[in-house]
Amino acid sequence: MLRGFLALLVLAITAPATAPSRPPTEAAPVQVVPLHTNGTAPRVPRPLPPRTLRLTGLVHDSLTGFPLPGAVVQLVEGDGTGDARSVITDDRGRFQFADLAPGRYRVGFYHPRLDTLGIEAPVRTLQMHTDATDVLLAVPSAAHIRAAVCGAGDGGREATLLMGVVYDARIGTAVADATVQVEWTEIELGRRTATPRRVQRQVVTGANGWYGVCDVPREGVVQLAVRTPSDGIDHVEVRLFGDALNHRPLYLGSATTMRVAGVVTRDGSNRPVANATVSLPNGPSTRTNAKGAFVLDAVPAGSRTLDVRAMGFYPERLTVDAVQGVPRVAVGLRSFTSVLDTVKVLASYQRYSLRQELAERRRMGIGRFITEKDIELRRSIVLSDLFMATPGVFVERQMGLQQNVSMRGIFADRCAPSLFLNGFAMFLADFGSAPFSFADLDAMVSPDEVLAIEIYAAGQVPTALGAGMSGCGAIAVWTR
């Protein structure tokens, strides 16, 4: 029996297993770690989590020198084809982007200020490994814009740029292919002469309505006119300041009318100027009330020249934009006493020489003269009244005491003659409008201050008044 039990035990040990088969288990890879020279294994550093970066900066307007709030700043990763992230600058022009991964970025901005200038701000490229702070984005400076448009100018002289955008005053869209014409008068000084010449430049607006005219005067007044096949504006006066860039948007839309309101005050104060005349050339006219306020109705839409005059003040001409929602116009008039300093007469030889010149020209028998004796006998209230009895000179009363003086011309029955005060050209007939007129002269000079007046018809103007040689003659007023 014992022998049979041992036989079964041997059979159980040598018999194959009947349990279900399992897939073989792969052996774990063996990591070979290099040893230091001292035989110890180095510590393996743990991987760091991705770092989040920040980008902060400022949007600056280089033309005004102030930060630019409300600008939309855009950031794009890589080559600029990915999704853009946008933020808006705060009231200090600051902006910030957070949670940025290290890498290459492109950043730029947009603001309506760029549209009014007709330019695009440059885009900056940044390679970020750490936080980027104080990133500056800016409207290009005046010198940069001028150099890009005009270059260095003739003979290395820096050019002055007059630029802007032409808009449709009715719907506010830019006007392409509009012809912009700029004119101004330059005086060429000789040894004994001063010869005026008219300079004219003409450009055409681009697809975005932008125009730019290089090498305009650094200071003074220029006249702009805009033309399209269906619309136009004439002789808008723009005052230029000594800067690399002068910016002036223009508006077209004379087919509709707008209302322009405002207030006239003494320059440098809030004191109103009552009974001042406010008008548009060849357009509506009105007077200010006791508070200096005025309202002009039926003003042709677009950019217009507003003319403001009052007794005892220098006239003021400014360009207003008669468009929907235009703000009230604030006009400051300068009094004569605030501009003219005390004048002391140290010698009388200049007046004596002038009397001799006037006597010599009178003996030549050319032109007409109003003498001191004539002035005393006529007892005129304003200067222009002295021309009432002068043949070939016409005086027309305008609003209030203002009067307009005209003469017979070669090419017209009546035209505006050139006007001189003590040899200074106040108005040149053949060179468009000028800073002063007869209405201004009435406010500046009293009849009892006049020494003599010379009146020359067309073709009779002496060489001493060579700038007045035009198709409409000249009038020269000399004070004591």
Residue 328 and residue 232 share a domain? no
Q: How many folded domains does the chain comprise?
A: 4
pLDDT of residue 461: 80
Cα torsion 284, 288, 294, 296 to 10°: value is: -10
CB 292 within 8 A of CB 273: yes
User: Which residue shows structure tokens 């027309």?
Assistant: 396
Any domain includes 23: no
Q: Which helix (H) or strand (E) holds 149?
A: helix 142-150
Query: Which tokens go with 62?
Result: 């280089």
Any domain includes 93: yes
379: left (phi over 0), alpha (psi -120 to 50) or beta: left
Residue 263 and residue 208 share a domain? no
Domain of residue 412, CATH code: 2.170.130.10
Query: Which tokens go with 264?
Result: 């006239």
* Paired strand residues for 159: none
Q: Which helix (H) or strand (E) holds 333?
A: strand 329-333
CB 196 within 8 A of CB 185: yes
Any domain includes 14: no
CB 107 within 8 A of CB 75: yes
Domain of residue 262, CATH code: 2.60.40.1120
Residue 314 and residue 286 share a domain? yes
Q: Which domain holds residue 213?
A: 142-252
Domain of residue 60, CATH code: 2.60.40.10
Residue 222 and residue 194 share a domain? yes
Looking at residue 361, what DSSP letter applies?
H
Any domain includes 16: no
Out of 213, 236, 252, a domain closes at 252
pLDDT of residue 1: 44
CB 184 within 8 A of CB 223: yes
Amino acid letter for position 154: D
Closest Cα to residue 360, out of 449, 459, 464? 464
Residue 431 and residue 385 share a domain? yes
65: left (phi over 0), alpha (psi -120 to 50) or beta: left
* Alpha carbon separation from 6 to 2, 9, 18, 451 (Å, rounded): 6, 5, 21, 160
* Alpha carbon separation from 140 to 64, 90, 104 (Å, rounded): 11, 20, 24
Q: CA 216, CA 242: separation in Å to the nearest integer?
A: 11
> Following DSSP, what letter does each residue of 170-197 receive, concatenated?
TT--B--S-EEEEEEEEEEE-SS-EEEE
pLDDT of residue 18: 47
Q: CA 277, CA 292: separation in Å to the nearest integer?
A: 10
Out of 139, 156, 185, a domain closes at 139
Cα torsion 199, 300, 331, 248 to 10°: value is: -40
Residue 431 and residue 383 share a domain? yes
- Print the SS3 string covering 85-125: EEEECCCCCEEEEEEECCEEEEEEEECHHHHHHCCCCCCEE
C-alpha count within 13 angstroms, C-beta hemisphere, residue 91: 0
Q: In terms of residues, how long is the chain?
A: 480
Out of 209, 228, 252, a domain closes at 252
pLDDT of residue 59: 94
Any domain includes 403: yes
pLDDT in tens, the chain (480 residues): 434 443 444 444 444 444 444 455 454 454 444 555 555 556 666 665 566 899 999 999 988 889 999 999 999 988 766 678 999 999 999 999 998 988 899 999 999 888 778 788 888 999 998 999 999 999 888 888 888 888 765 544 556 889 999 999 888 899 999 999 998 877 666 665 656 677 889 999 999 899 999 888 877 788 899 999 888 887 788 888 777 888 899 999 877 889 999 999 987 788 999 999 898 877 888 999 999 999 998 888 999 988 888 877 877 888 899 998 888 999 998 876 555 444 444 444 455 577 888 888 888 878 889 888 888 888 888 888 888 878 878 887 665 445 678 887 666 677 888 888 887 777 776 554 445 677 777 777 888 888 899 988 877 787 767 555 556 788 888 888
> Strands 53-61, 66-67: parallel, antiparallel or unpaired by DSSP?
antiparallel
Residue 474 and residue 391 share a domain? yes
User: Which residue shows structure tokens 């990915």?
Assistant: 82
Residue 437 and residue 386 share a domain? yes
Residue 419 and residue 326 share a domain? no
Residue 155 and residue 125 share a domain? no
pLDDT of residue 403: 67
Any domain includes 106: yes
Burial of 253 per CB tally in 10 Å (0-12, 13-18, 19+): buried
Any domain includes 4: no
Asked whether the whole model's pTM tops 0.75, one would answer no
Residue 462 and residue 385 share a domain? yes
Any domain includes 75: yes
C-alpha count within 13 angstroms, C-beta hemisphere, residue 122: 11
Q: CA 296, CA 264: separation in Å to the nearest integer?
A: 13
> Strands 220-227, 179-189: parallel, antiparallel or unpaired by DSSP?
antiparallel
pLDDT of residue 87: 95
Residue 453 and residue 370 share a domain? yes
Query: Which tokens go with 209?
Result: 């309505």
